[in-house]
Amino acid sequence: MEFKPAAYPTEFLTLSNEKGTRLRATVSEFGPILLSKILDLNDTQSGLVAMIFKYCDDNKLPLLDLKDFIKVLQFVSDEGKAELEKDYGKVSTTSTGTILRKVIELQQQGADLFFGERSFDVEDLMRVSNDGRGMISIVRVTDLQDRPKLFSTFMLQLLAELYASSPEEGDMDQPKLVLFIDEAHLIFNEASEALLKQIETIVKLIRSKGIGIYFCTQNPMDVPASVLSQLGLKVQHALRAFTAADRKVIKQTAENYPESEFYKTDELLTQVGIGEALITMLNEKGIPTPLVHCMLRAPQSRMDVLTDTELNAIVDSSKIARHYNEVIDSNSAYEILTQKLEAAANQKEEIAQQKEEAKAQKQEKGFFDNPIVKSVARTAGNTIVRSLLGAIGLSGGSRKRKSWF
């Protein structure tokens, strides 16, 4: 085969502030079930999360980012607790406190970068370049090795969104999308139980959607048996045995391949050289083919590290980076509840101020409203009036008016 090196249409994606197209999803899109899984909540706490989502839907409170969810959680724990319990059931303060702590833990791993707008449309993973070739989308996760929660969150949402949005395609000649998960052993070692169950479910069902998944790892034993059993194509490069434990792993690896009368698989695994591999796959009838030791064709792309200039050029020429990298802070649950609480606080202050004014007015009127004070005032008033009338000769005495007749 003739080797012709060539460039391929590439798109860089990122979950952080690295250069590339930002991957985001809203809390509402993630949903109560996946959110509960990634937070590792029990049934009671998961029920409360579902109740909060229902409350937000009914009251038109959009849950876009984590600060929206935290604000609603604080609201139903305090000011809005009576309102929520009236229509949806009891709210446990212990449960809301636990959920809040786990959300903050997720925030500490950078989840605020992932939750929000504008959310990424998985259809953009299936774009075709101007020359008719499929786009190669590379998710840059070099800075996420110490943040497994964030990566698990992303993988859960991506797999669930792909499965939910992709129609049934049946047995296609070639898949419309292929996912390669490199260093897969890191995923399975660090991933939550929820992610592992999700991957197992998706791997079993997603082939009918026309989507393929490849796990790239050092050793097949790094992949859980429930997932490994679903992988029809296996490409095995060399394994080296330096210790007794290594030899045991190689023996177990050999047992994962179809039995061969032609090869001693466990010995061959340690003898495979660069550019060689052992391959087995499913044939047209779904039967595993015999194990084959063969040479591999070299990649036709450049196998080198991109310079900053080259990386910037690819990102700058992207048709979707500018769209998804725009940060949008819409009027959502956080802003709506903040305005509601501020309005309630202002109304409470006005009522308190009106009460103070009324109390002061009452105190001013209180002295003159006293019956004794009123009686004394009337007596004093009458005495003053009689004195004035007497001084001008108009007092009410018994003097008779002189008659003219």
Residues 6+ apart with CB under 8 A from 227: 199, 200, 203, 215
User: What SS3 state is found at 275?
Assistant: coil
Residues 6+ apart with CB under 8 A from 83: none
Edge-to-edge, what's the strand order for the sheet holding 136-140? 21-22, 10-14, 136-140
Residues 6+ apart with CB under 8 A from 347: none
The reported pLDDT for the residue numbered 13 is 92
Q: What is the pLDDT of residues 129-183, one digit of tens each?
A: 888 888 999 998 877 777 777 777 788 788 888 888 888 887 788 888 999 988 7
Query: CA-based angle 289:291:295, to the nearest 5?
Result: 115
Query: CA-based angle 177:178:184, to the nearest 5?
Result: 145
User: What SS3 state is found at 292?
Assistant: strand
Q: Are 324 and 15 a contacting pair, CB within 8 Å?
A: no
Question: Measured between alpha carbons, how far is 113 from 115 in angstroms, rounded to an integer?
Answer: 6
The chain-wide mean pLDDT, for the chain, equals 81
Q: Are 334 and 68 a contacting pair, CB within 8 Å?
A: yes
Q: What is the pLDDT of residues 196-242, one digit of tens each?
A: 787 888 888 888 888 888 888 887 888 888 888 888 888 988 888 78
The reported pLDDT for the residue numbered 398 is 45
Q: What is the pLDDT of residues 90-104, one digit of tens each?
A: 888 888 899 999 999
Length of the chain: 405
Q: What is the pLDDT of residues 297-351, one digit of tens each?
A: 888 888 888 888 998 999 999 989 888 888 777 777 778 878 877 776 666 666 6
Instruction: Output DSSP code: residue 388.
Output: H
Q: What is the pLDDT of residues 30-78, one digit of tens each?
A: 889 888 888 888 888 998 999 999 988 888 888 888 989 998 888 888 8
Residue 63: CB atoms within 10 Å: 25
Largest interatomic CA distance in the chain: 164
Q: Are 22 and 325 a contacting pair, CB within 8 Å?
A: yes
The reported pLDDT for the residue numbered 400 is 46
Residue recorded with tokens 């899984």? 37
Q: What is the pLDDT of residues 352-380, one digit of tens each?
A: 676 676 776 666 555 555 565 556 556 65
Examine the pLDDT at 401 and tell me if it is beyond 50: no
Question: Measured between alpha carbons, how far is 396 from 385 in angstroms, rounded to an integer?
Answer: 11
Q: What is the pLDDT of residues 232-283, one digit of tens each?
A: 888 988 888 788 888 888 888 888 788 888 888 888 888 888 889 999 998 8
Instruction: Output DSSP code: residue 261.
Output: S
Q: By 3-state DSSP, what share of the chain in percent is helix, strand and coil, each rounded to 5?
A: 50, 10, 40
Question: Measured between alpha carbons, how far is 54 from 48 in angstroms, rounded to an integer?
Answer: 10
Examine the pLDDT at 22 and tell me if it is beyond 80: yes
Is this model's pTM higher than 0.85 or not? no
